[in-house]
Amino acid sequence: MSKPPDLVQGTLDLLLLKILALEPQHGWAISQRLKQISGDVLQVSDGSLYPALHKLEQEGWITAEWKTSELGRRAKFYSLTRLGRRQLARESANWDRLSNAISQVIRLQES
Amino acid sequence: MRLEHWLYTIPLRLRSLFRQSQVERELAEEFEFHLEQRIASEIASGATPEQARYTALQAMQGIEQHKEDCRDMRRLNWVENLMRDLQYALRALAKTPAFTAVTVATLALGIGANTAIFSFVDTVLLKLLPVKDPLQLYLVAYHPAKPHTTWNYPDYVAMRNHNTQFTGLAAYSLSLSTFGLQTAASTQQAAEITYGIFVSGNYFDVLGATPALGRLFDAQDDRAPGAAPYIVLSYSYWQSRFSGDTHVIGRKLWINGYPLFVVGVAAPGFTGADVAFRPDVFIPIMMRGQVMHFPFERWNNRKNWWMAIIGRLKPGASIRKAEGELFAVCKDQEAAERRTTSDPRWISTAEQIVLQPGARGYSYLADTLHKPLLILFVIVGLVLLIACANIANLMLARGAARQREIAVRLTLGASRGRIVSQLLTESVLIAVLGGLAGLVFALLGTRVLASFVQEMSWAPVMGIRAAVDARVFGFTLAICILTGLLFGIAPALQSTRPDLVPALKEDVPGSTGSSRVTLRKALVVFQVGLSLPLLTGAALFARTLGNFRALELGFAPENVLIASIDPAQFGYNGQRVRNFFDHLRARAAALPGVRSAALAGMTPLSGSSWNDIIDVEGYTWKSGERKTAWVDNVGPGYFHTLGTPVILGREFVEQDNPTTTMEPARLKLGEPPPDAPGRHVAVVNETFARRFFPNRSPLGMHVHLTFQSPTAYEIVGVVKDAHYYSLRDTTQPMVFIPIWRVAPQSASLIIRTTASSTQIAPLLRREIKALDPVIPLRKIHPLTEDVDRMILIERLVATLSAFFGALALLLSAVGLYGVVAYTVTRRTREIGIRMAVGAARSSVLWLVFRESFGMILLGAGLGAIAAFAATRLVASFLFGVGTHDPLSIALAALALAFSAAIASLLPAQRAARVDPLVALRYE
């Protein structure tokens, strides 16, 4: 599977879960939102978004539903499940711990 | 948490599996939507539609690859792949019907044979008794090597009452009793034969058996002798004899003339604790005196050893502690007997108590089958391996034919793993097809085995029943998959080797196959190497059987029938028994076609035995010499009827019997019986005469039978040695005494006639009926049957090993033929060149033969080493032939060489006929 090279392993899952926690979205909207909120820093190639979504769906963290989009076109909307919410909490905590630790190390070097 | 996970994922997986096209459509639609949105947004920011489309596709970077990644995420690829592989395999097999037929047929034989043998191995060695918690059951034995221990009633009662580790100890008669059954009190109606056992009151309870109808026995039925006139029927007997009539409960049945009330029917499938018996009826031990006309006082002692003890250990109980407790009880019993008995020689002593696992039940019959079954299992296992090698060989040849197809697929990017798994799917499919066909063969095989086993049993309710059930089916399936992988893996790896890709560029058949040929040759060597021990075994067993057949028996079993009748069952004893048999013998002798008739207490090779401690006039015992001899009581004309030559003196005449007959009731155990007056005469066998009277005639000398009579017997005749107990042992000293010197109980009638048992039986029944209408003819069988039964195991092993040896030979020959034919084709050009430069046809023939003999020689050499090591394991089955019998190995090698010659002949001839011109142009 092709992975976005500029994302730390596993962080894509966290970002997708976080975005979907706000509201159910289809793939295109997710990719736009990702770009928009990270200020174009985090770029995920269009294609590699979908295998990641399908993986989350298979894990039971998100679930998909075909609905009519804003433009009147049928689209596959993903939303967070209860399991996904739990997973998000876990991964956020992990991320906090990791980023804190890294910040500590970096500060150590400066002093 | 886990559950919730499955809640989401299972529907998804099912959907991807069964709604595959819809899932695919949705996947395409999802990507399409993304693409459209992208294009729309590009256009919105000012691009032309063409530009927008280009940029959008660019951003997606290979839609198909992403789609494949999405499919991978579904993690169901392997199932889809398997389905696809199966379809592909079916198509491929259908395209080569000859290959499919040969491989499936080979496997059907190989797997079928394994299934058939396994069904017996399962029944005899593995299956647990169909009772509650069988693993808690233990048999009480006094020797670790003999679970087949018999006990007496007082010891059983003492053990039952004094132990803390068992929830219950039950007893049952170890051998099956033959009863005469009547459904009404009658002196005119002939009794039917039925088979049953005596059981303690708690027997069903300890085994955890439940009634299908009515009640089973309980502790109340153990209270007092004669106080439990009840009978329980087995389910199958209730069905077959009473048509499942529920009114049977409460009915009176006369067993050996004694009335018993039917109280219940055991649950279906319950046959007791012996896997080889399926008793029709169960009777309380307390009724043994009434039913057998054998009073309680006479068997409630430590002399009468006849029953087995089985117990259910409490959960968490200690086996060691239980053994200790029971042993203490036995020692107490012994000490008590010592205080009341004058003759210490009669006191039985136990040296230890051993609890034997009883979960599988115990059966003498099953026990004798253990080793032969394991040998047969090894044999069929080897045959299956040979079959696997054969099929692997065929698959390699097929792989060669499909080389280009596989090379194309490899070049087009198929992974090696996928192609290997596809080829393996194909071989497992072949194996499963073979296994299914093999089940038919297995059903046939179990029938053959069952008929052999049935011969071991003297009653229709005895024998091992093996069925192809779910367990056996599971075993077959496992074997199929295993063999499929076994014969498939090497060819699959071989034909997908990356260096085979150049095959694409070339067009010469087999030009890249040198490693393939090596592998194929190795497989043939392997086959030959396995075949040799099999053939050696077959030769050893065949020679063993031949030696048995050529054995001098000491009697002529052909045209001799043995009839068993048991008037004592119906209360006859003493003079009445003697009169009955004397009259019956006279009537039988007068029947048409009967040359002579005689009576005997015991017939040769019948399985009964009797020995006594002897003293011989004028003979001093060497120290350590066993003072025992075998004894038999026989009537006038016995040796003449049996065909045993009288060497010296004479055989018995009517006057040798005592004039007064002893009544068994007057016999006391522990003391020599009272002696009937008259001249005591005996006949001895040659071994007896040679051993004790090496330098003089034994006639007129005396022999004393310690436990038989206080009076010594005068020897009046010497007869030729005969095998009475086994065909393997050398003959022991034997003494014959006149039949009615022994208190009469039962006897066999021996008839020499050219008529068959089925012709004689009705005539004999008529004569019996004239003497007493109630007494049934228990059984009539040819003496040859007894002889055959002695070598039943040897016959079974010899027959099956010959069959499987031949099969192995055939498979090896086919394998060899395949390889030789293939190499001849490959070397056509080389042979052409050789012939073009003047090689003679004979040297070309030699070229081919040399190759195949090389394989045979190597295989046979390796096989001989294996055979040398393995035949020691079958030593106990051999007779008159050593385990390292050079002749047998030579015979096996010769058979292999002969089949190799035949297998190479056709390809060799084809090679010799090669036209150099054609061969050189060949390409």
pLDDT in tens, B385-407: 998 888 888 888 777 777 777 88
Residue B609, pLDDT > 90, answer no
Nearest residue of chain B to residue A31 (CA atoms): B34
Q: Which residues of B touch A27 (CB under 8 A)?
A: 30, 33-34
One domain for residues B350 and B372: no
- Of A31, A54, A73, nearest to B74 by CB-CB distance is A54
Residue B240 lies in a domain: yes
Enclosing domain of residue B665? 567-774
Mean pLDDT of B476-500: 81
What pLDDT shows up at residue B681? 95
**Per-residue pLDDT, B190:** 83
The pLDDT score that the predictor gives to residue B303 is 81
Cβ neighbours of residue B746 under 8 Å, at least 6 residues apart?
Answer: B564, B566, B567, B568, B577, B601
B152 neighbors B298 (Cβ within 8 angstroms): no
When mean pLDDT is compared across B388-392, B648-652, B783-787, the lowest value belongs to: B388-392
Domain presence at residue B128: no
B170 and B28 co-located in one domain: no
The residue among B292, B324, B359 that closes a domain is B359
Check CB contact under 8 Å for B69 and A2.
yes
- Residue B899 falls within a domain, yes or no? yes
CATH code: domain of residue A37 = 1.10.10.10
B287 and B351 inside one domain: yes
Note the pLDDT of residue B68: 77
CB B208 within 8 A of CB B170: no
* Whether B598 and B667 share a structural domain: yes
CB B674 within 8 A of CB B587: no
CB contact under 8 A, A46 and B38: yes
Residues of chain B contacting A48 with CB distance shorter than 8 Å: 66, 69
B670 has pLDDT over 60: no
B851-869 pLDDT, tens digit each: 888 888 898 889 888 888 8
* Averaged pLDDT of chain B: 86
Within-domain flag for B192: yes
Residues B352 and B373 in one domain: no
Query: Is B70's Cβ below 8 Å from some Cβ in A?
Result: yes
Q: Give the pLDDT of residue A50.
A: 86
Report yes or no on A3 lying in a domain.
no
B58 touches chain A (CB under 8 A): no
In this structure, is residue A6 part of a structural domain? no
- Does residue B271 belong to any structural domain of this protein? yes
Q: Is B472 exposed, middle or buried (0-12, 13-18, 19+ CB in 10 A)?
A: buried
Domains identified in chain A, total number: 1
What domain count does chain B have? Answer: 4
Mean pLDDT of B806-820: 87
In this structure, the answer to whether residues B802 and B766 fall within a common structural domain is: no
How close is the nearest chain A Cα to the Cα of B41, in Å? 11
Q: Are B254 and B571 in contact (CB under 8 A)?
A: no
Q: For B60, which of A47, A58, A73 is closest by C-beta distance?
A: A47
Strand segments, DSSP code E, in B511-627 are: 560-565, 594-600, 611-616
Given an 8 Å threshold on Cβ–Cβ distance, is A59 in contact with B30?
Answer: no
Write out pLDDT tens, residues B51-74: 888 888 877 777 777 787 777 776
Nearest to A48 among B9, B66, B72 (CB): B66
Give the three-state DSSP class for B921.
helix
B481 and B523 together in one domain? yes
Looking at the domain assignment, is residue A1 inside a domain? no
Choose the mutation target among B34, B39, B55, B58 for the interface with A, i.e. most A CBs under 10 Å: B34
Is B294 a residue whose pLDDT tops 50?
Answer: yes
B18 touching chain A per CB within 8 A: no
**Chain A within 8 Å of B14 (Cβ-Cβ)?**
no
- The pair of structure tokens assigned to B470 is 């779910």
Asked if pLDDT for residue A1 goes beyond 50, the answer is no
Task: Work out the pLDDT band at A109, boundaries 50, 70, 90.
Answer: low
Domain that holds residue A38: 11-110
Interface of B with A in 830-849 (CB under 8 A): none
Reported as a single tens digit per residue, the pLDDT across B410-427 is 777 677 887 888 888 888
Query: What is the pLDDT, as a whole number, of residue B832?
Result: 83
Q: Which of B89-103, B177-191, B518-532, B709-723 has the highest mean pLDDT?
A: B709-723
By CA distance, what is B8's nearest residue in A? A60
Is there a contact between B70 and A51 if contact means CB atoms under 8 Å apart?
yes
Same domain flag for B347 and B457? no
How much is the pLDDT for B323? Answer: 93
Of A2, A63, A66, the CB nearest to B8: A63
B230 shares its domain with B329: yes
More confident residue, B93 or B310: B310
Residue B791 has pLDDT above 50, yes or no: yes
Q: Which of B52, B75, B98 corresponds to the end of one domain? A: B75
Chain A residues in contact with B63 (beta carbon < 8 A): 47
Task: Judge whether B560 lies within some domain.
Answer: no
For B440, list phi and psi in degrees, rounded to 5.
-65, -45
Task: Give CA–CA dist B274/B195, Å, rounded.
Answer: 14
B352 touching A, CB under 8 A? no
Of all residues in chain A, the percent with pLDDT exceeding 70 is: 85
B282 and B249 in a single domain? The answer is yes
**Residue A15 covered by a domain:** yes
In this structure, the answer to whether residues B305 and B386 fall within a common structural domain is no
CA of B419 to nearest chain A CA: how many angstroms apart?
21
Residue A9 has pLDDT above 80, yes or no: no
What is the rounded CA–CA span in Å between residue B891 and residue B899?
12
Separation of alpha carbons B644 and B638, rounded Å: 9
B150 and B180 belong to one structural domain? yes
B378 has a pLDDT exceeding 50? yes
In this prediction, residues B85-99 reach a mean pLDDT of: 83
